[in-house]
Structure 1
Amino acid sequence: MNTLEETLAFLAPSETARAYLDRALREPLRSGIPFVDARDPEPALRAGEIVEIVGAPGSGKTEFVTEIAAHAVLPRARDGVRYDGSEARVIVIDCDGKFDQLRLLRALNRKIEEKLANVRENQRVTMRDEVYEESMSRFTLVRAHGMVDALKTLTALDAAWSGAIESAKRDGLFVDAETAETRETGEDAEGGGTNGAKSGEMAKFASQRLVICDNVAAFYWLDRASRKDHGAPFNIQRVFSAAARLFKRLASAHRAAVVVTKTTLSSNDGRRGGQYKDFLPVEWTNAVTQRVLLAPSNKRVGYGEYAGVATWDVPVRRHGGAYTVTEEGMRC
């Protein structure tokens, strides 16, 4: 900082006090998983948090984020029925092609059917279809065929959300997430369909965002092999340093909750001497604010099912829980 202008720019606040409070006090997202939603002391899925789900292959990581995504897109309540969702915009970046959209649809349909169990049969089908369509309109799936594709997606999200905020500034509107989300999705307060009479009810919570990256280390070995001495522009340090910065920006500047899954390199969930040892660069490790470790349990289950135990590595004061992955989805 050689000039006064550079010093002032460095000291300038990055957001107003009102924007900070809007971010800090935002209601947590609901995942439908008890030990994630528990106030222990606070629910895990909050704006600004980067939650990492770690486990060996087949431990149910993708099933976890499928369950979280299906619950997050649900409305809070519609037509007198409480669905206990978050009405969140959910973006899933699938890095290894294992995110099954059909399982997401089944999980979402199962949750809706459970909430409509006491509704009259002649109303149930119409209500189910309306909630189903509304919920899926908030879901986006992106397939990444390399870590650079994932970085491009994160950069595009940052640019899109920043553009919505700048648009609100130019129009003289208070820049909050509600305004930005309304402009981003093109929702019309006077429109019909699911946004019509319910737009006032939805406005308060429509701004919540959830970014999921399934298997962030899927291309680890390819990135590791791309060393500078081979002339590759993106080595593993640069790739994951950039990913850490972008995820942190989406979490802090755009008030999104971030969930990433990661496959460990060994069967003991990456533990060495009782402590978790990350194999990714330190920039990535420092960006993660919460970490869940998945391991198999001794519970007897049926054929084709998997029983596991989730333990919080960071923060250690949170309590985990048991879960079972079945053909119908995940049970906790």
Structure 2
Amino acid sequence: MALSQWIDGDESASEMLARVLKERTSLVVPPLHRVPLRVGNVVELVGPSGSAKTQILIQAAVNCILPKEWNGIRYGGLECSVVFIDLDCRLDITRLYQVLKLRILEAISNGSSSTGDQENFDALHATCLRRFFYIRCYDSFEFLATLKTMHHKLQKERDGLGVGLHLLVIDSIGAYHWVDRVSSSLPLWGHNRKPLPSPFLPSRIKRMMLCEQSLSESESRHGKTDGGQVLYREYMPSAWQSFVTHRVFVRDSDEHPTGSSCDRQPTYFSEWLLPSLGFLDKFIVKNAGIFLVP
């Protein structure tokens, strides 16, 4: 929009919101749908092991790489690139393929009954996967080297694909925290190399956040206090805590939805800590992704 058009223009509040939301797409996958997430936001998922944190990251990644529309069928994605940095080296990539495949097949079955669906699926599946970049790092220095050299690679991929990076996923940001802390206390660490200063990782990631969002997973071994029971306690350094703009706490539950035994799925709870919303979302994980439970 030109400056003169903006000055002379006259639009209602609803028209302005529709325009802004269209221009600034956001992640709307459960349980991240409660708060509008924008470029530059850093969202931390915290919770004990086995609380579906990685499943949420996979769902967010699939939502980004899917197109808004393809051959007349609406898929509801953001049509953007995703970088998934796996610091735990435990991501089941076949799980991402499964969620992506089922999302595509569901949209095709709802939006088209014509022939050539298989060709449509194959072409779209390959296009989506070209927007997904998977990187494994095995220590902090490898992670830093990845962040330092990523800008040039992403610029090259942006020129080739015609779309920019929208989401940076780190699973999990605390993977090397305790190893680095112990190593830094030793008299000879890494052949006399100095340990990483705590603000260095956030500052390096912050440079990348000028054009995209970030999702990170942090596994809490202590937890958030609830009725005297400690469920979550922060252990990351203050440099990281001040860097995070949003925080969501997720945990497993003993509850199961009603139904036949084969349909029963583990139930999970999510709670926004930053900003504090004061209520819980309940969700389950199915083959096609995450679904909210009333």
Q: Which band: TM-score by shorter chain? A: 0.7 to 0.9
TM-score, normalised to structure 2's length?
Answer: 0.80
One-letter identity of the residue aligned with 2:32:
V
One-letter identity of the residue aligned with 1:216:
I
Q: Deviations over 1:43-102 (max 9, x none)?
A: 22x210110001101111111101111111001111111111111111111111221110
Q: Distance in 2 between matches of 1:231 and 1:67?
A: 42
2:90 to 83, 98, 117: 98
Kindly indicate whether residue 204 of structure 2 is the aligned counterpart of residue 246 of structure 1. yes
Q: Distance in 2 between matches of 1:121 and 1:279?
A: 54
SS at 1:64's partner residue?
Answer: helix
| Contact 1:215 1:262 (8 Å CA) reproduced | yes
1:73 maps to which residue? 65
2:130 to 100, 114, 137: 137
Dislocated runs of 4+, deviation >4 Å: 269-276, 301-305
2:119 to 119, 126, 141: 126
1:170 maps to which residue? none
SS at 2:50's partner residue?
Answer: coil
Q: Distance in 2 between matches of 1:271 and 1:157?
A: 40
SS at 2:283's partner residue?
Answer: strand
| Cα distance, 1:320–1:245 mapped onto 2, change above 3 Å | farther
Q: Distance in 2 between matches of 1:25 and 1:286?
A: 30
Residues 219-298 of structure 1 correspond to what in structure 2 (within 5 A)?
219-227=176-184, 229-232=186-189, 233-235=193-195, 238=197, 240-252=198-210, 255-266=211-222, 268-269=223-224, 277-298=233-254
2:44 maps to which residue? 52
| Contact 1:87 1:208 (8 Å CA) reproduced | no
1:310 to 257, 270, 273: 270
Kindly indicate whether residue 278 of structure 2 is the aligned counterpart of residue 322 of structure 1. no
More divergent stretch after superposition (59-68 vs 240-249): 240-249
More strand by share: 2
One-letter identity of the residue aligned with 1:223:
D
Aligned residues: 264
| Cα distance, 1:328–1:159 mapped onto 2, change above 3 Å | closer
Structure 1 gap ranges (5+): 1-23, 165-182, 188-194, 196-202
One-letter identity of the residue aligned with 1:70:
V
Q: Distance in 2 between matches of 1:77 and 1:291?
A: 31
1:154 maps to which residue? 147
Deviation at 1:248, TM superposition (A): 1.3
| Cα distance, 1:210–1:319 mapped onto 2, change above 3 Å | farther
| Cα distance, 1:26–1:241 mapped onto 2, change above 3 Å | farther
Residue identity over aligned pairs, in percent, reads 23
1:210 maps to which residue? 167
SS at 2:167's partner residue?
Answer: strand
Q: Distance in 1 between matches of 2:278 and 2:208?
A: 24
One-letter identity of the residue aligned with 2:115:
N
